[in-house]
Amino acid sequence: MASIQIRKETGCLILDFYYAGKRCREQTALKDTAANRKRLQKVLDRIEADIAAGAFDYRRFFPGSK
């Protein structure tokens, strides 16, 4: 199950989900507002759907990630 969390040091939102048996956490530059949470929830829903369908491409969603 994916979730949206807040990084206390910056106040920015983090996407937290599991992919291929590993926990993945990606920080965003978005501040914690209702509009930003709604926006990220749509992204998380798409990520979870892609993972379930076996079509998730990590680089498509997070091109700058390690």
Give average pLDDT by consecutive 10-residue segment, the chain, 66 residues: 92 95 94 96 95 94 88
Can you give the pLDDT at residue 47? 95
| Prediction pTM value | 0.85
Can you give the pLDDT at residue 53? 96
For residue 12, give Cα distances in angstroms to 7, 26, 33, 50, 53. Answer: 6, 11, 9, 25, 29
> Alpha-carbon dihedral of residues 54, 29, 11, 66, nearest 10 degrees?
50
